[in-house]
């Protein structure tokens, strides 16, 4: 089983770190799981204009194919203006509407204020559900204060939630695979 993590931040380091921690937690829970991090800041994903995927640049095609070839996925986004980033929304716009059929799609968010901890419930979850993803009950919000200066997540409660999310994602994906 391959778990792909997507970080929807085009400049920062907190979101890719948070996504990476979910990937590592999954690997630790089940070492047979293959993991890959797609950090969107390392790719030039073009804006969707309605043309078929083959009309876009190599980075766009690579990122979309990596997502489509994953067995299950964890999406990370910083909160931008009380929503997900435009970069992540643009990526979703590249996908067919059944892109996540029979796939678990988890969510992890970073934000400056915990007042926005429910943003993904209302802005990201509906998109994942529309694309037929199975969204776990658990989702993790990591506030900037939860990181130390070395960009490590220092809050033990958050680390516990990350571990639980990874375990829930594996459990759900194995159940879906067994259908």
Of the candidate residues 5, 111, 133, 136, the single one contacting ligand FMN (CB under 6 A): 111
**Which residue from 94, 103, 116, 161 is in contact with ligand FMN, where contact means CB under 6 A?**
116
Number of residues that bind ligand FMN (CB under 6 A): 17
Taking the least distance from each CB to ligand FMN, the nearer of 83 and 102 is 83
**β-strand 2-7 against 34-39: which pairing, if any?**
parallel
Q: Which is nearer to ligand FMN, 116 or 161 (CB)?
A: 116
Place of tokens 């200066």: 149
* Residue nearer to ligand FMN on the CB measure, 9 or 173: 9
Virtual torsion, Cα 170, 173, 177, 179, nearest 10 deg: 120
Binding range to ligand FMN, per CB under 6 A, among 7-15, 50-58, 66-74, 86-94: 7-15
Spell out, one character per residue from 13 to 42, where the chain touches ligand FMN: x when CB under 6 A holds, - when not.
Answer: xxx---------------------------
CB < 8 Å & 24+ apart, contacts of 21-27: 21/153, 21/159, 21/162, 22/74, 22/76, 22/106, 22/108, 22/140, 22/162, 22/165, 22/166, 22/169, 23/74, 25/162, 25/163, 25/165, 25/166, 25/167, 26/74, 26/166, 26/169, 26/170
Q: Are strands 72-78 and 105-111 parallel, antiparallel or unpaired?
A: parallel
One symbol per residue from 51 to 90: x for binding ligand FMN (CB under 6 A), - otherwise; what is it?
A: ---------------------------xxxxx--------
5 binds ligand FMN (CB under 6 A): no
CB of 120: closest distance to ligand FMN in angstroms? 12
Tokens of 49: 């204009």
Binding residues (CB under 6 A) for ligand FMN: these are 9, 11-15, 78-82, 110-113, 116, 144
């Amino acid at each position: 089983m391959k778990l792909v993590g997507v970080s929807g931040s085009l400049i920062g380091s907190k979101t890719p770190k948070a996504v990476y921690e979910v990937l590592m937690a999954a690997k630790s829970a089940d070492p047979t799981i293959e993991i890959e991090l797609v950090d969107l800041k390392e790719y030039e994903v073009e804006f969707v204009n309605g043309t078929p995927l083959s009309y876009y640049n190599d980075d766009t095609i690579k990122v979309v194919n990596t997502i489509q070839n994953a067995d299950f996925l964890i999406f990370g986004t910083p909160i931008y203006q009380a929503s997900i980033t435009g970069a992540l929304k643009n990526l979703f716009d590249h996908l067919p509407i059944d892109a996540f059929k029979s796939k678990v799609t988890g969510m992890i968010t970073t934000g400056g204020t915990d007042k926005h901890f429910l943003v993904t419930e209302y802005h990201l979850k509906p998109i994942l559900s529309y694309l037929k993803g199975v969204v776990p009950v658990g989702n993790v919000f990591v506030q900037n204060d939860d990181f130390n200066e070395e960009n490590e997540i220092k809050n033990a409660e958050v680390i516990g939630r990350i571990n639980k999310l990874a375990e829930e994602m594996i459990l759900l994906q194995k159940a879906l695979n067994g259908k």
